[in-house]
Amino acid sequence: MSNKIRSYPGTEITSEEARAGRYLLTKYAAELKYSWSSGEAISRFLGGLRDGELWGRKCKECGRTMVPPRMYCEICFRETDEWVRLQDTGRVGTYSVSYVNADASRRKQEEPILVAVVEIDGASPMMGILHLLGEVLPDKVAVGMKVKAVWKPKDERQGAITDIRYFRPYRGGPQRT
Ligand SMILES: [Zn+2]
């Protein structure tokens, strides 16, 4: 085997030459369309969001109720067993005061967003939904704070996590449905 770099016929176009306009350039915005399957568990979860419901998946072996749901328990190495309707209340597991939007653009210093992992009532702790907090000032947020989902109106829901606008502070225990 030779370590020599193979050379190919033709002339290399360098970035500098391209920038200098030495070659014909065509610019266009690609319109890329793609779709993918969200799978059995997340499909049901997203359908639940459209209906204003949160659904988790329970593994009877370890007793965990997972949200977002999974069809397979990575701890027990087995399929999960059943669907569990969850409350739309929970607790702040962790949070961040963010001055950056989801598209990485900068926010005004006086208008941060509050990003939190919400541990949903009825699901196992240490797992939860990454979402926004609202109706609360940054210095009033605390880990363990009770929160409740604020849903979009039914006709605006699309089967997406954004069907929940945000979670707001909530006084009171888990609701019974
Ligand atoms: Zn398990």
In a domain, residue 177? The reply is no
Per the domain annotation, does 20 fall within a domain? no
Question: Dihedral (C-alpha) 158, 160, 165, 170: value to the nearest 10 degrees?
Answer: 120
Query: Ligand 1 centroid vs 57 CA: distance in angstroms?
Result: 10
Total structural domains within the chain:
1
3 Cβ contact partners less than 8 Å away, ≥ 6 residues apart: none
Distance (angstroms) between ligand 1 centre and the Cα of 158 equals 31
Determine the distance separating the centroid of ligand 1 and the alpha carbon of 65, expressed in angstroms: 9
Measured in Å, residue 119 CA sits from the centre of ligand 1 at 18
Q: State the pLDDT at residue 25.
A: 79
C-beta atoms surrounding 94 within 10 Å: 12
pLDDT attached to residue 174: 53
In a domain, 164, yes or no: yes
Predicted model pTM: 0.76
Q: Which structural domain range is residue 94 located in? A: 39-169
Judge contact between 158 and 47, C-beta under 8 A. no
Q: How far is the CA of 85 from the centre of ligand 1 (A)?
A: 18
Instruction: Quote the pLDDT of residue 127.
Output: 84
The answer to whether residue 81 sits within a structural domain is yes
Q: Record the tokens describing residue 12, joined without a space.
A: 């290399």
Residue 23's pLDDT is: 86
Q: Contact, 106 vs 165, CB < 8 A? A: no
In a domain, 45, yes or no: yes
127 CA to centre of ligand 1 in angstroms: 14
What averages of pLDDT result for each successive group of 10 residues across the chain (177 residues)?
A: 70 86 86 90 96 96 96 96 96 95 89 95 90 95 96 96 96 59
**40-55: b (≥16 Cβ within 10 Å) or e:** ebeeebbebbeeeebb
Give how far Cα 112 sits from Cα of 49, 117, 129, 135, Å. 26, 16, 20, 13
**Angle at the Cα of 49 from the Cα atoms of 138 and 106, rounded to 5 degrees:** 35
Instruction: Tokens for 173, please give them.
Output: 């225990």
Q: CA nearest 83: which of 99, 67, 101?
A: 67
Ligand 1 centre distance from Cα of residue 83 (Å):
14
Beta bridge partners of 82: 58
